[in-house]
Structure 1
Amino acid sequence: MHSDTHLLMHHLRAAELETEARAALPREPRELRAQLGWILVELGLRLTQQAPRRQARLA
């Protein structure tokens, strides 16, 4: 029964996130482009904050 409760909680949270995402969607194409731009900036910042997994070799 525990797994059923856990699964139900995941479904409820997924529904909440979907509702929030739909509410946050921009209504105009300009807003969409700006929002996508900021998402890419955030992604770039996150990638630069991660430690490199291997060192580059200099020739």
Structure 2
Amino acid sequence: MHADIHLTLHTLRSAELRREATEFRQATEFRQPAEFREAAGPRRARTDLRTRLGWSLVELGLRLVNRPVARTRTHLA
């Protein structure tokens, strides 16, 4: 598959996922009572913390996977 076609497909899928996420967020806000939305401050902070922690773990995992392999010296005598 050509790179430009792959990029176009990726762009379309990304826009589709963003649209679905926005619709889901709006539907969730619509279903929640106003009292709960006003009191969601601590919950949002917890979710943000989880997100940051999750991405930090992903970054750590990628660093561990991409770490260069230590070369051992071989002595030819």
TM-score normalised by length of structure 2: 0.48
Q: Count matched residues.
A: 47
CA deviation after TM superposition for structure 1 residue 45, in Å: 5.0
Q: CA RMSD in A?
A: 2.5
- % identity of equivalent residues: 17
1:25 maps to amino acid: E
Shift of 1:43: 5.1
Give structure 1 regions of 4+ aligned residues with deviation exceeding 6 angstroms.
none
TM-score normalised over the length of structure 1: 0.59
Q: Extract unaligned runs of 5+ from structure 2.
A: 57-77
Q: Which has the higher contact order (CA 8 A, sep 6+)?
A: 1
